[in-house]
């Protein structure tokens, strides 16, 4: 891989990357374009916290990869730097129960994790609220991917506890931002009436980026992440075209990184269109990989069974799932519903002669990439 610098080949100690971290999914850019109005709406909701009052509750909705999480992280970072407001972002894909949500809040408030067993929710909640009152702190909680709390039927209980904190503990000031990428989920309508009566959130919508916005964002990311001259205009256009096709900016950011790695594999100083096209074969599954990472063992087992029994009747799928997990039909049905809501499977009801209505289940992806990611 050594070569004359003039021939466009990288030497061993060279890289096409100026800063590879720029292409990580959790990277928060210094300048955040094309989301000015959404950021202003979120600032409006959070501004009371800076004055020592409860922030306004907010629902943030929009398709995946439209800047929702980045916006919240950016504003939370500013709040922490400029005020005494305590901010906590909970990833509900990982922490999908009320207890898990409050354990994450506890960890932020006390800087250590609560005991893994032996502490009731009431005590956990009480210690958090007491500390907030004692320190006279305002707490802003972002429930990121709150749709996962709904899938587990935990959303109403978690929100009720957060929103009623000031009633159980006078002086506790808590505001909630619910972030959802599931456009079929109506966050407010799906909550219990007891929660609806106190929630009354502001709503902020994040639409998909248009092609020009995608090009602008990816160009800036490429300029920060790659050395000069690594990514040409034609290659950037190809990345933008594939990103727009997927509808998810995260695909484009991952695509830039993988295309850079492909160029390095060839010991090349520049990215080619072929590097981009080859990278897309993996980058297009960013959403699939992310969804699979958040599944429990039994949920992953059903996805694997569906991949292995692709195209077979629902009955044989259930039998294979039961054999693998020893779980009954009720739990099987619950998992199917969750996978359907996540967009991992597609379900359809049809009339079957002599049997009435029967549900067919199929993967929303080709079996091969699904099994690769489960087994990998």
For the annotated binding site, the residues are: 66-70, 209, 221
| Rounded Cα distance, 373 and 376, in Å | 5
Neighbours of 359 (CB within 10 A): 13
Closest Cα to residue 221, out of 14, 20, 10? Answer: 20
Which helix (H) or strand (E) segment is 347 a member of?
strand 345-352
Q: Strand, helix or coil at 362? A: strand
What is the distance of C-alpha 327 from the center of its chain? 28
Phi, psi of 43 (to 5 degrees): -60, -40
Closest Cα to residue 145, out of 309, 333, 14, 287? Answer: 287
Going by their DSSP bridges, the two strands 138-144 and 86-91 should be labelled as parallel
Q: Strand, helix or coil at 299? A: helix
Q: What residues does 203 pair with on adjacent strands? A: 59
Going by their DSSP bridges, the two strands 173-180 and 202-205 should be labelled as unpaired
Which helix (H) or strand (E) segment is 198 a member of?
helix 193-199
Closest Cα to residue 147, out of 298, 297, 343, 283? Answer: 343
Residues of the binding site for ATP: 66-70, 209, 221
């Amino acid at each position: 891989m050594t070569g004359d610098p003039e021939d466009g080949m990288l030497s061993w100690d060279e890289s096409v990357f100026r800063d590879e971290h720029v292409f990580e999914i959790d990277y928060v850019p210094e300048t955040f374009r094309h989301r000015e109005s959404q950021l202003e709406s979120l600032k409006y909701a959070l501004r009371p916290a800076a004055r020592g009052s409860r922030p306004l509750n907010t629902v943030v909705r929009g398709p995946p990869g439209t800047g929702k999480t980045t916006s919240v992280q950016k504003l939370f970072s500013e709040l922490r730097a400029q005020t005494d407001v305590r901010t906590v972002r909970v990833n509900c894909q990982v922490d999908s129960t009320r207890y898990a949500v409050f354990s994450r809040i506890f960890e932020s408030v006390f800087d250590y994790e609560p005991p893994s067993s032996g502490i009731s929710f009431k005590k956990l909640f009480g210690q958090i609220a007491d500390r907030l009152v004692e320190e006279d702190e305002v707490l802003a909680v972002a429930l990121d991917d709150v749709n996962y709390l709904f899938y587990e039927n935990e959303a109403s209980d978690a929100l009720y506890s957060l929103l009623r904190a000031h009633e159980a503990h006078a002086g506790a000031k808590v505001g909630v931002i619910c972030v959802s990428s599931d456009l079929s989920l109506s966050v407010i309508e799906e909550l219990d009436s007891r929660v609806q009566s106190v929630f009354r959130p502001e709503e902020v919508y994040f639409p998909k980026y248009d092609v020009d916005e995608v090009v602008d964002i990816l160009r800036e990311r490429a300029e920060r992440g790659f050395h000069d001259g690594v990514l040409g205009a034609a290659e950037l256009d190809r990345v933008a075209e594939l990103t727009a096709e997927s509808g998810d900016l995260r695909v484009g950011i991952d695509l830039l990184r993988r295309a850079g790695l492909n160029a390095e594999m060839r010991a090349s100083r520049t990215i080619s269109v072929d590097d981009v096209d080859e990278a897309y074969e993996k980058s297009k599954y960013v959403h699939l990989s992310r969804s699979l990472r958040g599944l429990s063992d039994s949920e992953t087992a059903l996805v694997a069974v569906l991949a292995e029994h692709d195209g077979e009747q629902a009955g044989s799928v259930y039998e294979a799932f039961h054999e693998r997990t020893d779980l009954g039909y009720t739990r099987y049905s619950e998992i199917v519903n969750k996978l359907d809501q996540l967009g991992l499977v597609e379900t359809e009801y049809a009339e079957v002669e002599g049997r009435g209505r029967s549900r067919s289940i199929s993967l929303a992806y080709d079996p091969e990439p699904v099994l690769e990611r489960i087994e990998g």
